[in-house]
Amino acid sequence: MGSASSNDAIRSISNWAIAPAQPRPAGQRKATEEFGSLTFSEEVQRARLPKDVYRALRRAVAQGEPIEANVADIIASALKDWAVEHGATHYTHWFQPLTGITAEKHDSFLSPSADGRAVAEFSGKELVRGEPDASSFPSGGMRSTFEARGYTAWDPTSPPWLLVTGNGVTLVIPTAFVSWTGEALDKKTPLLRSMESLSKQAVRILRLFGSKAQRVTATCGPEQEYFLVDRQFYFARPDLINSGRTLFGARPPKGQEMEDHYFGSIPDRVLAFMMEVERELYKVGVPLKTRHNEVAPGQYEVAPIFENANVATDHQMMTMEMLRRIAPKYGLACLMHEKPFAGVNGSGKHLNWSMADELGNNLLNPGDTPHENIQFLVFCAAVIRAVNKFQGLLRFSIASAGNDHRLGANEAPPAIISIFLGDQLTDIFQQVEKAGSAKTTKSGGILDIGVGVLPKLPRDAGDRNRTSPFAFTGNKFEFRAVSSNQSIALPNVALNLAVTESLDYCATELEKGLKEGKKLQAAVKQLLVKLLKDNKRIIFNGNGYSEEWQKEAAKRGLLNHRTSVDAYGEAMKPDVVKAFETYGVLTEREWHARYEIAVEQYNKTINVEAQLMVLMANRYMLPAGYRYQGELAASVNAVKAAGATSKESRRALDQICRATDECKVRVDQLQALLEHEMNGDAEKHSRYFRDKVVPAMNALRDAGDSLECIVPHDVWPFPTYREMLFIK
C-alpha cells in the first residue's frame, strides 16, 4: 500500500457524495407499501389461492399439518404466476447447509413446448422437493462423497421471496436439506424439530393452567453487530479479505477510549447504506426496527422486531447477506467477524428469545405482579433449570475460533454461562424458595427527572447488566454470548431443546402432584422450591467481568470453558445426546456430525489465519522492514562520509534491525509449527492449534506490530488501524 495508494483511498472517500437531502427520493414508495412487496405473503396467498387451499396452507403454517400433493400443485402454480408477473425467470431452493452460510441452486421455470417455443412451468413436485448434489457440503462423516444424493424440502412456514439482482429476478423458496437416508444435513431441520418438541411440552404445562392453547412457538429477535470499513482499505488487507479480521495492526493512538462513537450521530455515507439495506429487507419482509452506532469506532448494529424462531433465523441469514451485498455500492465492506480489530470491542449477536402461544401470549411476560402469575414463574424457573442443566450445550452452541476473541477474553460476555435475573425476579424467587410462594413484587416506581417540564418516567424494576451472557430483560431472555458471524440456528436449537427437556420435567412433576390429589397451587409451590434449590447456582446478578466471579463460579461448580477447544467436548456428553434423541431433534449420528464439523471448522480457521500471517510477514512486512533498514544504513553511511556524526540514527538502525530479526524469527517458528502432520483425530489437532499455533500467532503479531510502529508510513504495506477505523 504505502502512502500513494493510501492517498488514493482517502481521496475517493472524501469525494464520496450522497444525493441532496430529500424526504423521500423520487420513485420510492412509502415504507408501509414497500414492506413485504417481494414476498409471497399471507395477503398474496389469500388473494391468489382458492379458499380451501389457502386454509390448508395456513393450517400447515400454524399447526404444522402436512400439505397434500394436489394442494401443493395449486400453490406451486399460483406461486409461479406471482413470481413470473414480478419478472422472475428462475427459482431456487434456498437452504442452510452445515457450512453456516446459505446455499442456492437456480433452476429456470422455462420448459420447451412442442412448437419450438417455451412456457413457464412449476409443479407441486418441484416446489416440494429439490435435489441438489450434496457431496460438496460438510456432512461431518455422515456420508462419503460418493453418497451424493441430497434433497431439499419446502418449508411452508417461511414465506418465499423474490431476489432482485442487476439482471433479473429469482424466486427463493426456503427449504430444509436432508440426505437420501433422511438425515438432516442442514441447520433448519433440527430447528423445526426442536420447535415442535418445545411446543408439545409447553402445551402440556399450559393445559394444567387451564389454557386452551394448541401450540407454542419459540420467538426470537436477533440483534446484529457489524463493522464497516472503506472498501479500498479492505482490498489492501489480505487478512480482511481471507479471514475477515486483521491479523496484524498496531493500536492506534485513539481507539474507543473517548466513548464518542456509541449512539453517536451516524455518518452520512453509513446512514445511506443502512437505509438502503433496510429498504431492501423491508421488501422481502424482514421487519427491521433499530439502527445505531455501537461502542467501537466503525461499529454499528441493526435489530428486527421478533418473529417465530424459524422465520427469524431465515431473516437473520438474509440480513447478513444483504449487509454484505449492499456495502460495496457505498464503497464499504461489511465485517461480521467477532473481532475484526484487536483493542476495540468485538461484535456479537444478542439472541432475544421467548415463547408465545398461538394467541400471541408471551409466556415469559411476568405482568405487573409476577408473584401472582404462577404460570410465568413455572416457565421462568424451567428456563433457569434448562440453562443450569445444559450449560455445556449452550456453551458449545456459540463456540468458534472467532468467538474465542470475545468469550473468556477481556470482553463481554464471559465464557461462564450464568443467568442475570434482575432485582425484582431474584427477590420473588428468593421469597418462593423460602416460603414456597411470593407475597410481594418490588416495583420500579416513578423516575422523577427533577425538571418540571420533563415527563415523569415509569422506571423498570431492575437495571441492566451488560456483562451477563444470558439475561432476563423484562419479558424475554437475551442470550448475549452468540457471535456476530454465526447462524442463530444452533443457539436456537440448543435453547429450545434445553427448555423442552426442562418443561417435560416440570409437566411430569406437576401431573404427578395433581394425580396424588394435590391442588395445582400446592404442586406448583413444591416444584418451584425444588427447581430453585437445585438450580440457583446459575443465577448471578453481579459483574461478570470481575476476577471474583471467576472464583465464585468455580466454587459453584459452573463450567468455565475459556476456549472453544475446551467447550467442544460438551457436545457429546450423555445428557446432551440423550436429550437430542429423546425429543427427536437429532439422532446421535446427526448430532455427532455437528460436533465434528465445529471442531474441523475451528482447525481450518486457525490454519488459514496462521498461513495468512506467514504470507503477510514474509511477502509484505519483512520486505518493508528490510527496505527501511537499507535506507537507514545508507543514510548512516552518508552521514559518516560527510564527516558528521549522529549516534541516534545509528541507534535507529539497530532498532529496526532488531525488530525485523524478531519478526523473521517468529514467522519461521510459526511456519515450522504449521508443517505438523494434520491427519486423524480432529479434536487432538484442535488442542495442538490452541496450545502451539495460537500462541505462536500471538507472538508473531506482537513482533509485526512493533515493526509497524517504526517503519515509515510510505513504506508500510497495509492501511493502518488509524486509517481503517477513523477515515469514513
Residue in the block written with cell 411470593: 438
Tell me, by CB under 6 A, how many residues bind ligand ADP.
Answer: 15
SS3 459: coil
Nearer to ligand ADP, 170 or 354 (CB): 354
- The entry of ligand ADP, Mg ion, none near residue 194 (CB within 5 to 8 angstroms by kind) is none
The candidate with the shortest Cα–Cα distance to 330, out of 270, 390, 244, 401, is: 270
Nearer to ligand ADP, 9 or 218 (CB): 218
Cross-strand partners of 309: none
Rounded CA-CA distance 132/307 in Å is 29
- The minimum distance between CB 36 and Mg ion, in angstroms, equals 25
Contact track, ligand ADP, 212-231, x by CB under 6 A: -------xxx-x--------
- The minimum distance between CB 394 and ligand ADP, in angstroms, equals 17
Kindly state whether residue 363 participates in binding ligand ADP, applying the rule CB under 6 A. no
Report yes or no: 204 and 192 within 8 Å, Cβ to Cβ. Answer: no
Report yes or no: 356 and 219 within 8 Å, Cβ to Cβ. Answer: yes
Tell me, by CB under 5 A, how many residues bind Mg ion.
Answer: 1
The candidate with the shortest Cα–Cα distance to 407, out of 617, 567, 612, is: 567
- The entry of ligand ADP, Mg ion, none near residue 110 (CB within 5 to 8 angstroms by kind) is none
C-alpha cell at 178: 436432508
Report yes or no: 155 and 93 within 8 Å, Cβ to Cβ. Answer: no
Nearer to Mg ion, 6 or 473 (CB): 473
Kindly state whether residue 479 participates in binding ligand ADP, applying the rule CB under 6 A. no
- The minimum distance between CB 465 and ligand ADP, in angstroms, equals 11
- The minimum distance between CB 293 and Mg ion, in angstroms, equals 15
- The minimum distance between CB 478 and Mg ion, in angstroms, equals 6
- By CB under 6 A, name the one of 473, 484, 541, 601 that touches ligand ADP: 473
- The entry of ligand ADP, Mg ion, none near residue 353 (CB within 5 to 8 angstroms by kind) is ligand ADP
Rounded CA-CA distance 238/329 in Å is 21
Kindly state whether residue 543 participates in binding ligand ADP, applying the rule CB under 6 A. no
- The minimum distance between CB 375 and ligand ADP, in angstroms, equals 16
Report yes or no: 344 and 410 within 8 Å, Cβ to Cβ. Answer: no
Whether the link from the prior residue into 25 is cis, omega within 30° of 0, is: no
Report yes or no: 238 and 615 within 8 Å, Cβ to Cβ. Answer: yes
**Tally of CA atoms within 13 A in the half-sphere of 505 that contains its CB:** 20
Residues 6+ apart with CB under 8 A from 50: 74
Per CB under 6 A, the segment of 10-18, 49-57, 178-186, 298-306 that binds ligand ADP is 298-306
Distance, C-alpha 241 to centroid of its chain: 20
Kindly state whether residue 388 participates in binding ligand ADP, applying the rule CB under 6 A. no
- The entry of ligand ADP, Mg ion, none near residue 221 (CB within 5 to 8 angstroms by kind) is ligand ADP
Nearer to ligand ADP, 301 or 570 (CB): 301
Rounded CA-CA distance 495/383 in Å is 9
Kindly state whether residue 361 participates in binding ligand ADP, applying the rule CB under 6 A. no
Nearer to ligand ADP, 152 or 354 (CB): 354
Produce one character per residue of 534-555: b if its CB has 16 or more CB atoms within 10 Å, e if not.
ebbebbbbeebeeeebbebbee
Kindly state whether residue 354 participates in binding ligand ADP, applying the rule CB under 6 A. yes
- The minimum distance between CB 303 and ligand ADP, in angstroms, equals 4
Measured from the Cβ of residue 112, the count of other Cβ atoms closer than 10 Å reads 9
Kindly state whether residue 157 participates in binding ligand ADP, applying the rule CB under 6 A. no
Residue in the shown chain whose Cβ atom is closest to ligand ADP: 221
The H-assigned helical ranges of 112-212 are 124-128, 188-208
Q: Tell the burial category of 196 from Cβ atoms under 10 Å away from its Cβ (0-12, 13-18, 19+).
A: middle
User: Alpha carbon of 707 to those of 206, 315, 524, 625, 655: distances in Å?
Assistant: 64, 44, 65, 7, 9
Nearer to ligand ADP, 475 or 543 (CB): 475
- By CB under 6 A, name the one of 41, 361, 362, 611 that touches ligand ADP: 362
Kindly state whether residue 306 participates in binding ligand ADP, applying the rule CB under 6 A. yes
- The minimum distance between CB 366 and ligand ADP, in angstroms, equals 12
Q: Where in 483-502 is the site for ligand ADP (CB under 6 A)?
A: none
Nearer to ligand ADP, 232 or 299 (CB): 299
Rounded CA-CA distance 313/589 in Å is 24
- The minimum distance between CB 575 and ligand ADP, in angstroms, equals 26
User: Alpha carbon of 599 to those of 56, 626, 678: distances in Å?
Assistant: 42, 39, 13
- The minimum distance between CB 18 and ligand ADP, in angstroms, equals 28
- By CB under 6 A, name the one of 160, 285, 304, 719 that touches ligand ADP: 304
Nearer to Mg ion, 350 or 592 (CB): 350
End-to-end CA distance of the chain: 18
* Strand-pair category, 299-304 with 288-293: antiparallel
Kindly state whether residue 353 participates in binding ligand ADP, applying the rule CB under 6 A. yes
Rounded CA-CA distance 87/108 in Å is 12
Contact track, ligand ADP, 311-350, x by CB under 6 A: ----------------------------------------
**Which amino acid does the sequence have at 332?**
L
Kindly state whether residue 352 participates in binding ligand ADP, applying the rule CB under 6 A. yes
- By CB under 6 A, name the one of 303, 419, 490, 523 that touches ligand ADP: 303
The candidate with the shortest Cα–Cα distance to 601, out of 314, 469, 404, is: 404
The candidate with the shortest Cα–Cα distance to 173, out of 137, 131, 127, 134, is: 127
Residues 6+ apart with CB under 8 A from 454: none
Contact track, Mg ion, 97-126, x by CB under 5 A: ------------------------------
- The entry of Mg ion, ligand ADP, none near residue 304 (CB within 5 to 8 angstroms by kind) is ligand ADP
- The minimum distance between CB 411 and ligand ADP, in angstroms, equals 19
Residues 6+ apart with CB under 8 A from 683: 565, 568, 569, 599
Residue in the block written with cell 420447535: 195
Q: Where in 327-356 is the site for Mg ion (CB under 5 A)?
A: 350
Rounded CA-CA distance 469/560 in Å is 12
- The entry of Mg ion, ligand ADP, none near residue 314 (CB within 5 to 8 angstroms by kind) is none
Rounded CA-CA distance 357/58 in Å is 16
The angle subtended at Cα 239 by Cα 233 and Cα 242, nearest 5°, is: 105
Nearer to ligand ADP, 307 or 708 (CB): 307
Kindly state whether residue 93 participates in binding ligand ADP, applying the rule CB under 6 A. no
- The entry of Mg ion, ligand ADP, none near residue 305 (CB within 5 to 8 angstroms by kind) is ligand ADP
- The entry of ligand ADP, Mg ion, none near residue 39 (CB within 5 to 8 angstroms by kind) is none
Cross-strand partners of 170: 90, 163
- The minimum distance between CB 281 and ligand ADP, in angstroms, equals 14
Report yes or no: 176 and 152 within 8 Å, Cβ to Cβ. Answer: yes
Per CB under 6 A, the segment of 8-16, 300-308, 636-644, 696-704 that binds ligand ADP is 300-308
- By CB under 6 A, name the one of 211, 373, 430, 475 that touches ligand ADP: 475
Residue 21 carries which DSSP code? P
Nearer to Mg ion, 197 or 468 (CB): 468
Kindly state whether residue 249 participates in binding ligand ADP, applying the rule CB under 6 A. no
Kindly state whether residue 476 participates in binding Mg ion, applying the rule CB under 5 A. no
- The entry of Mg ion, ligand ADP, none near residue 306 (CB within 5 to 8 angstroms by kind) is ligand ADP
C-alpha cell at 605: 480457521
Binding residues (CB under 5 A) for Mg ion: these are 350
Binding residues (CB under 6 A) for ligand ADP: these are 219-221, 223, 303-306, 352-354, 362, 473, 475-476
